[in-house]
Structure 1
Amino acid sequence: MTVRDGQAVLGRFDGTFVELDVSDHTRRLTIEAGGNTFSLDLPAEDGPMLGPPLRGGPWAAIYKADWPRGHRRVFYAPDGVSRLPGRTAIDWVKLDDQGRIAVGDPDLARDALGYGAEVLAVADAVVAAARDGVPEAERVSRNGKHPQDLAAGNYVSLDLGRGRFAVYEHLIPGSLRVRIGDRVRKGQVIGRLGFSGDSTGPHLHLHVADAAAPLLGEGVGYGFERFTLLGRYEDLGRLGSAPWTPLEGLDSERRDELPGSDVVVRFPA
């Protein structure tokens, strides 16, 4: 890779997972591959760097930009203004070392490995919005469609400052430990991972946006201060039935970045 006139130029390459280390002064990235040239502007700032939202792991970071109904493609306009709240959302799913996501009956929400996990404040912050009391279905197969305003289920939104809010969704009813206006410390337990709202299984939905309400913000960038990269699911259909594929040639100890799609990580315990 070379830098010309403030642009980083990456030569031809083969592969699907590329890690770049570019100068802090580089604001535009140009990739030349397969006879084509692609350019993109790098953001002026990386966004807030967050503490862990959950403890330990393994946790699968589930998202993909090309899913037709994925967070990164579904716009909402509850007030008449179209926004993409989940632009950088991740659904966090707990695994074991064999890649299983549940023990016992996989259709029972409470048998999911992540169900009931303590959800943590990612920063020193103020609770800007919260909702509790949305009921859960006992079985995954019986979770029906919810009205748009209840799709997030039970949620907490933390004001991170500078117009940025961390939004946690699908918490267990009755598990919230905070109220609007409370000040929280990084690492403080704010609720428990559950299955409320529109959800295909117990998980923690987390995104950062420029507004506190789940559907009234535009999703913005962020990263995590620290996590251990364990591997990745090249075929997400194997999630729950097979281990992930280790990633070779990368430093497993990651700092100040957003995990890639469908990777598996471990947070500090």
Structure 2
Amino acid sequence: MQPSHTSDIPRWRKELGAWYWPMLLSLACVILLQVVVRQLWGWNFPFWLVIALYLILAGILSFGLKAYAEGPKKTKRMPHPASQWPVAGPLRYLGRYAIMFTFIPTSLLSIFNPWQLTQQLKQIGGQARVHKRMRDHYEALEHYQNKVSYRLPFDGEWLIFNGGLHRETSHSWDVLAQRYAYDFVKADASFRRHSGAGNRLKHYFCYEEPILAAASGEVVHVQDGIGPAPLVGFGVCDFLARHFAGNHVVIRHAEGEYGVYAHLIKGTIPVQIGDRVAQGDRIGLCGHTGHSSEPHLHFHLQDGESIFSSMGLPIRFETARVNGTVTDTPVEITRGQRVAHIP
């Protein structure tokens, strides 16, 4: 694990700027430009032009600030195994990088959604508080020992699309709550995640699969009532959803260990706040809600109840099959592996 309290501070601040400020600054620039044009020439921008100008400015600023955050010596990252997997849905006909022109622009539009704007502001403030609390303890997380035993949050074999316990494989290293998060999907032998064209939710192998409690615990938060993200198979981010995590459940599995299960199907969550669940109990069905590029389960462990102001924690799973090999001790998993719970 690479971050330390001396090297991680400036990088964290740069990454925070590259992540959020392009949206805010671009919106402010477009509003200012509209005011100037109206005052000088009495002309109002049509809505499509406001959106187009905003996306262009946000894209330019995102690229520039990201380059600044990485610095002259970019962190060498391991090639993502998904670069060798088939692209999901009709988007595959537009090329491997087409999702950059669908998911990223639509995610930038989330700033126009008051719910998601509020959530982004909470995440900014929460990250600042987490960093202040954790700045001298990042390295200790490398050796963190889970307080209870965790199983994989599903039955059958799934593929780890994203996630790992190190910067090079991390789901979102600089989003502190999600530093050790995982995205799970189901895939066939050729890594296809769906049958047919992939433009229907039911085409996806993991859709409607039961999601299970990774350990016993108490339900402390439930978000339900959010419909599926639009245009499945085209990598469109649901910037209109009431929550970027979609329908999700947070369970307190131990003191200082909370599991987050996200992107569940609307109306399939059978638990309520205050309920006790046993390890392996069903807590919902795998879906495609919130900021989801395709149906999948997002799961991570964190040290508090709030997904905005908690620090992500490494998690190692009890007896499992990893790439066909059965383990009899808690195992670290990473992207590209096929994993299955062993009863």
TM over 0.5: yes
TM-score range, shorter chain: 0.5 to 0.7
Cα distance in 1 between the residues matched to 2:256 and 2:301: 10
Gaps of 5+ in 1: 1-15, 17-39, 76-83, 232-250
Corresponding residue for 2:329? Answer: 255
Q: Rate the CA distance shift 1:230–1:142 in 2: closer, same or farther, 3 A.
A: closer
Cα distance in 2 between the residues matched to 1:46 and 1:164: 8
Query: 1:8-23 alignment to 2 at 5 Å?
Result: none
Corresponding residue for 2:239? Answer: 146
Question: After superposition, what is the alpha-carbon deviation per residue over 1:205-239, rounded to whole angstroms, capped at 9, x for unaligned?
Answer: 000001223222110122111211117xxxxxxxx
Corresponding residue for 1:205? Answer: 298
Cα distance in 2 between the residues matched to 1:186 and 1:123: 4
* DSSP-derived class of the 2:177 partner: coil
TM-score with structure 1 setting the length: 0.68
Cα distance in 1 between the residues matched to 2:312 and 2:257: 9
Count of aligned positions = 202
Quick check: which one's helix share is greater? 2
- Larger Rg belongs to: 2
Cα distance in 2 between the residues matched to 1:200 and 1:66: 21
Q: Rate the CA distance shift 1:46–1:185 in 2: closer, same or farther, 3 A.
A: closer
1:208–1:220 Cα contact (<8 Å) kept: yes
Q: Given the alignment, which residue of 277, 280, 284 partners 1:187?
A: 280
Q: Rate the CA distance shift 1:138–1:49 in 2: closer, same or farther, 3 A.
A: same
2:156–2:340 Cα contact (<8 Å) kept: yes
Cα distance in 2 between the residues matched to 1:61 and 1:255: 23
Kindly report the root-mean-square deviation, in angstroms, between the aligned alpha carbons of the 2 structures.
2.5
Gaps of 5+ in 2: 1-77, 79-138
Q: Rate the CA distance shift 1:139–1:190 in 2: closer, same or farther, 3 A.
A: same
TM-score with structure 2 setting the length: 0.54
**Runs of 4+, deviation exceeding 4 Å:** none
Amino acid at match of 1:174: G
Q: Rate the CA distance shift 1:44–1:94 in 2: closer, same or farther, 3 A.
A: closer
In the TM superposition, what is the alpha-carbon distance from 1:97 to its structure 2 partner?
Answer: 3.0
Q: Rate the CA distance shift 1:44–1:209 in 2: closer, same or farther, 3 A.
A: closer
Q: Given the alignment, which residue of 188, 205, 212 partners 1:96?
A: 188
Q: Rate the CA distance shift 1:146–1:88 in 2: closer, same or farther, 3 A.
A: same
Q: Given the alignment, which residue of 320, 323, 327 partners 1:230?
A: 323
